[in-house]
Amino acid sequence: MSSSFYTGRHGSLLLEGVKVAQVQNWTLNTSVSLLSTKTLGETDDQFIVDSRNTSGSCRVLYYADGANSAGRFISKVIKARDGDNQNAPLFQGDDVAGEEERSDLRLKVDDGSADGRYIQMRVFITNITLTMAVGEIFAADISFQSHGAPNLVNL
Amino acid sequence: MAFPTFVPTSRSFESGDYPVKTFKAQNGAEHRILYGSNRTNMKLSLSYANITDAKAEQFLDHFDEVQGTFQTFHISEELRGGWEGSKDALGAGTHGNRYRYEQAPQMTQVRPGVSTVTVNLIGVI
């Protein structure tokens, strides 16, 4: 019986259903918070589940291309003001007319099958840090927060 | 329906006092008159963190049954769980008191199906 391991070579990331090129890494963190039910006189903590939080981050290298993937991420958050108005829209989804607030993000592991293994969720991009430094490639560090539980999980 | 018997997650107790009236003269001398032999006005605050809504509801039901802050009632031994001193030290009965609600139970919904309830009781003769 052989075992399959996966490396960074098998990883990819899809934003709004489109594969993002030049992703250097992605991470996903799911945490569960607990509520203590320990009462007076008991020695050891006891818990019930309260809630779950899923968030993550990725690093996307910037490169000059018409369909620049890092630029697609960046443009969801960093937007120019609207005319004389000092404000800019906060919507991050593709449906601008529908004022869609969230984006679709799929974290994928290519296992050779058609769809691969993946987690897909509706996310808010909560932070983008652009880093330009001597001797390094211009890159965007992006953090995201899942809105609710993932839509699809196939791991 | 008796007062719910769950062990609380935290408890605070004020022992109350004897009915004493104090008179102070202009020269600073103090005179005290003891009006009764029973300590009263003890306050017991019980907090039940993260209990089921069904349990929380029992406090609301009991509050209705005793007509809010009107009627008095006894509390059970379970409420003193974790206390290793004399059980009657936290009670009101030793001094001829019974507890009543000092105010309505306070309920905070923590998540669906789970609530935290705080109950404040006061001992009265």
Domain annotation covers residue B50: yes
Q: How many CB atoms lie within 10 A of CB A35?
A: 16
- A40, A48, A51: residue with CB nearest B81: A40
Domain annotation covers residue A33: yes
Domain annotation covers residue A49: yes
Domain annotation covers residue A2: no
At residue A102's C-alpha, the angle toward residues A147 and A32, to 5°, is 15
User: CB B50 to CB A41 under 8 A?
Assistant: no
Cα A68 to Cα A75: distance, rounded to the nearest angstrom: 11
Query: Interface of chain B against chain A, CB under 8 Å?
Result: 6-11, 49-51, 81-83, 110-111, 114
What sign has the CA pseudo-torsion A11, A17, A23, A28? negative
Token readout for B94 is 């030793």
What is the domain extent for residue B85?
10-124
The CATH code of the domain that includes A118 is 2.40.30
Looking at this predicted complex, what is its ipTM? 0.73
pLDDT at residue B20 in the model: 95
pLDDT at residue A66 in the model: 64
pTM: 0.77
pLDDT, tens only, A56-95 = 999 999 887 766 678 888 889 999 988 888 888 899 998 8
Burial of A123 (0-12, 13-18, 19+ CB in 10 A): buried
Interface check for A40 against chain B (CB to CB < 8 A): the answer is yes
Q: What is the mean pLDDT of chain B?
A: 92
Token readout for A93 is 């989804």
User: In sequence order, what are the residues at sequence separation of 6 or more whose Cβ sits closer than 8 angstroms to the Cβ of residue B98?
Assistant: B72, B73, B74, B92, B123, B124
* Nearest alpha carbon to residue A51 among A145, A143, A149, A154: A149
Cα A147 to Cα B86: distance, rounded to the nearest angstrom: 52
- What residue spans of chain A are helical by DSSP H? 69-77
pLDDT, tens only, B73-99 = 988 888 888 888 887 788 888 888 999
- B6, B11, B49: residue with CB nearest A36: B49
Find out whether B28 and B99 touch, Cβ atoms under 8 Å.
no
User: CB A37 to CB B50 under 8 A?
Assistant: yes
Domain annotation covers residue B22: yes
What is the domain extent for residue A147?
8-154
Which residue of chain B comes nearest to A40, CA vs CA? B82
User: CB A51 to CB B110 under 8 A?
Assistant: no
Which residue of chain B comes nearest to A50, CA vs CA? B111
Cα A23 to Cα A11: distance, rounded to the nearest angstrom: 9
Q: How confident is the model at residue A2 (pLDDT cuts 50, 70, 90)?
A: low
The shortest C-alpha distance from B56 to chain A (Å) reads 14
Interface check for A35 against chain B (CB to CB < 8 A): the answer is yes
What sign has the CA pseudo-torsion A61, A65, A67, A72? positive
Domain annotation covers residue A100: yes
> Which residue carries 């008095």 as its tokens?
B72
Total domains in chain B come to 1
Total domains in chain A come to 1
Interface check for A36 against chain B (CB to CB < 8 A): the answer is yes
For a pLDDT cut of 70, what percent of chain A falls above it?
96
User: CB B81 to CB A41 under 8 A?
Assistant: yes
Cα A7 to Cα B96: distance, rounded to the nearest angstrom: 75
User: CB B81 to CB A50 under 8 A?
Assistant: no
The shortest C-alpha distance from B65 to chain A (Å) reads 26
Domain annotation covers residue B53: yes
- B51, B82, B111: residue with CB nearest A41: B82
Domain annotation covers residue B15: yes
- B81, B110, B111: residue with CB nearest A39: B81
Rounded to a whole number of angstroms, the distance between the first and last alpha carbons of chain A is: 20
Domain annotation covers residue B3: no
pLDDT-wise least confident of A130-134, A137-141, B79-83, B104-108: B79-83
Tell whether the model's pLDDT for residue A124 goes beyond 60.
yes
Mean per-residue pLDDT for B54-82? 92
Instruction: Residue B114: list chain A partners with CB under 8 A.
Output: 35, 48, 50
Domain annotation covers residue B88: yes
Domain annotation covers residue B42: yes
Mean per-residue pLDDT for B3-9? 92
pLDDT, tens only, A20-64 = 888 999 999 999 999 999 999 899 999 999 999 999 999 999 887
pLDDT at residue A92 in the model: 93
pLDDT at residue A28 in the model: 97
Which residue of chain A comes nearest to B84, CA vs CA? A41
Domain annotation covers residue B34: yes
Residue A77's φ and ψ, nearest 5 degrees, are -115, -45
For a pLDDT cut of 70, what percent of chain B falls above it?
100
Rounded to a whole number of angstroms, the distance between the first and last alpha carbons of chain B is: 21
